[in-house]
Amino acid sequence: MALRIGEIAPDFKAESTQGIISFHRYIQDHWAILFSHPSDFTPVCTSELGMVAKLKVEFEKRNTKVLGISAGTLESHKRWIIDIEETQETIVDFPVIADPHKKVVHLYDMIHPFFSHSETIRSVFIIDPGKRIKSILIYPANTGRNFHEILRMIDSLQLTESFKVATPANWEYGKDCFILPAVKDEELATTFPRGFKILKPYLRTTPQPNL
């Protein structure tokens, strides 16, 4: 059965390029990104792991740990990382989980039989410190992910979890937000001391409240 937003992310224990990972223990009080790859030694996956490596500092700023996974073996991953670091000119300093028996990829429903019976699709699970799934993104095998969009998603999730706001279309960090409909007009001044605008009774904006 497919996982859903709001569920506790299944725990697991698996080998990785940085040792044995016990997933919930590894997350601790961080956010986490678990993202899958169809297979090792493929061009799109190589570019994606390289990009995540280059953005590792950005994920760390957001208190977020990143973990890659594919159904390759640990030895295959280690050989592949040499190629990634050479061709993408970076250091892969995060764990890539080896799941040759597909225990984790089946646990997270990463294999879709209409695409392949053996390779994973490009799944992205964003998980909060409470181990709950906050977002699930799915990409086809031949389309590389936009990891800047994933960073934007984390920014929105962290913001909207702490404040009574929602983020509009194409929102970027630092831009105005929508005030949730549940907030009454008489509460606006105290809830949003940076100010607000009422465009329509249901359409109210405020500067990003955590800045």
Domains in the chain: ranges and CATH: 13-144 (3.40.30.10), 163-206 (3.30.1020.10)
Q: State how far the Cα of 30 lies from the Cα of 24, in Å rounded to an integer.
A: 10
pLDDT at 140: 86
Q: State how far the Cα of 121 lies from the Cα of 37, in Å rounded to an integer.
A: 7
Judged by phi (left if over 0) then psi (alpha if -120 to 50, else beta), residue 79 lies in alpha
Measure CA 158 to chain center.
12
Interhelix angle 43-54/147-162, nearest 10 degrees: 50
Q: State how far the Cα of 175 lies from the Cα of 191, in Å rounded to an integer.
A: 18
Q: How far is CA 197 from CA 97, 108, 170, 175, 182, in A?
A: 47, 42, 19, 14, 16
pLDDT at 38: 85
Residue type, 64: T
pLDDT at 39: 86
Judged by phi (left if over 0) then psi (alpha if -120 to 50, else beta), residue 109 lies in left
How many other CB atoms are found less than 10 A from the CB of residue 2? 8
pLDDT at 142: 87
pLDDT at 130: 97
pLDDT at 62: 98
pLDDT at 120: 67
pLDDT at 105: 87
Residues known to be catalytic: 45
The torsion angles phi and psi of 58, rounded to 5 degrees, stand at: -65, -40
Identify the segments of the chain with pLDDT beneath 70: 1, 112-120
- Sheet with 177-179: list strands edge to edge: 165-166, 177-179, 203-206, 197-200
pLDDT at 112: 64
pLDDT tens across 164-192, in order?
999 999 999 999 999 999 999 999 999 99
